[in-house]
Amino acid sequence: MKTKGYVVKSAKAPLESYDFDRRELRPRDVALDISYAGICHSDIHQAREEWGPAIFPMVPGHEIVGKVTQVGSQVSKFKVGESIGVGVFIDSCRKCASCNAGLEQYCVEGMTGTYNAYERDGKTIALGGYSNKFVIDEDYAVHVPSNLDPAGVAPLMCAGITLYSPLKNWKAGPGKKVGVMGLGGLGHMGVKFAHALGAETTVFSHSPEKEADAKRMGADHFILTKDAKELDKYKQSYDLILNTVSADLDLEPYLQLLKLDGTLVVIGLPGKPYAVNAGTLLGQRRSLAGSMIGGMAELQEMLNFCGQHNIVSDVEVIKADYINKAYDRTVASDVKYRFVIDAATF
């Protein structure tokens, strides 16, 4: 299947136009014309080989929304013309305890990434969503509610599920106090979901100019963190805190904000390991945890929830030839709050 996209041919090289072939449909495959592809900060890390050796040529992109154009002979989940989404992985072993529990992101053998990965045959490079067409096994795609703006849906496939999953796992809802560290591409989705779930929601940010956006998205409170002493008055106040910040920072003041049995969940990836005061964890039986995206069932659950509550990501839509500039602006935190590529411009 002839496909147009953008590729990184070597570490740190700029992205450039690229023509390539997608596989022909297998019996359980679905083909789609991509409408929008989100730019995730992890795309940049991997394209620039900042997370270890990468696989080139690399077509990044794991926030994909489009329309079904063809279905394989055994497909039962999708029909031509339906809206469809593809996220961070395109396959898994399908037989381990995690896969059987609908937690494919924690596949014991390792999930197959949408890009910068080899498919299950161990030799075919998976090429991602910065393109105009895609082919996916129906089990690893989801239905997109028709009432949602597809451009705003694209980042839900990674940023959205990355925040929805821990909020659901740690039972955010009425009567719970939830804090979100950082109001960026990840954090702004945490605010929207925590508010929609009924939790009292606080944003912790070092950027005072973001307060209006935080309140518009549903935050009940906005706390500036430039002065760490400002946090002292909120000690033992929160049931759950989501750390969406990828920069190195001191977790100690935030751990002290947790109530008895409260949890701080690490979502952003820092450049080096955190130093943690064990005494702070012991003192109130606090937990420090991590969470990564969600399984297929939860991804569909999240999209259904978004459809019910009219939740999408705040996005800036760009043309394909702007991707390299968008990368630089993303690194500089100069976007509100995610870039999304119009796939018609590939």
CATH number of the domain where residue 252 is located: 3.40.50.720
Q: Are residues 135 and 169 in the same domain?
A: no
Angle, in degrees to the nearest 10, between helices 187-196 and 296-309: 70
Q: Tell me if 307 is assigned to some domain.
A: no
What pLDDT is stored for residue 269 in this prediction? 82
- At residue 147, φ and ψ (nearest 5 deg) are -85, -5
**Are the C-beta atoms of 223 and 203 separated by less than 8 Å?**
yes
Size (the chain), residues: 346
**Residue 297 forms part of a structural domain:** no
Handedness of CA 10, 14, 20, 24 (dihedral sign): positive
pLDDT given for residue 247 in this prediction:
81
Say if 123 falls within a structural domain: yes
Helix (H, G, I), strand (E, B) or coil at 80: coil
Question: Mean pLDDT per segment of 10 residues, for the chain of length 346 residues?
Answer: 97 95 97 98 94 95 98 98 98 98 97 97 96 98 98 98 98 98 96 98 95 97 88 95 91 96 93 89 96 97 98 98 97 94 97
CA dihedral 97, 99, 104, 107 (to 10 degrees): 50
Name the β-bridge partners of 34: 66
Q: Which residues contact 156 (CB under 8 A, 6 or more apart)?
A: 63, 85, 189, 302, 303, 306, 311, 312, 313
| 127, 90: one domain | yes
The model's pTM is 0.96
pLDDT, position 324 = 98
Amino acid at 148: L
CATH code, domain carrying 142: 3.90.180.10
Structure-token match 């100690």, residue found: 252
What pLDDT does residue 273 have? 86
Q: Are 82 and 33 in the same domain?
A: yes
Domain count of the fold of the chain: 2
Spatial contact of 244 and 190, defined as CB atoms under 8 Å apart? yes
Taking each helix axis as running N to C, give the angle between helix 296-309 and helix 159-169, from 0 to 180 degrees, rounded to the nearest 10. Answer: 100
- Is the same domain home to 233 and 100? no
pLDDT at 272: 82
| Residue 79 sits in the same domain as residue 197 | no
Q: Which amino acid is at 98?
A: S
Structural domain span for residue 36: 2-158+313-345
Same domain for 150 and 184? no
Give the pLDDT score at 270: 79
On whether residue 308 sits in a domain, the answer given is: no
Shared domain for 131 and 177, answered yes or no, is: no
List the beta bridge partners of residue 241: 179, 264
- CB contact at 8 A, 258 and 236: yes
| DSSP secondary structure code for residue 127 in this structure | -
Shared-domain flag, residues 24 and 60:
yes
Q: Is position 209 within any domain?
A: yes
Q: What is each CA distance from 330 to 24, 286, 333, in whole angstroms?
A: 35, 33, 5
Do 151 and 199 lie in one domain? The reply is no
- Domain-embedded: residue 48: yes
* Torsion over CA: 211, 214, 219, 222 (sign): negative
The reply to whether 142 and 183 lie within a common domain is no
* Same domain? 115 vs 16: yes
Residues 243 and 206 placed together within one structural domain of the fold: yes
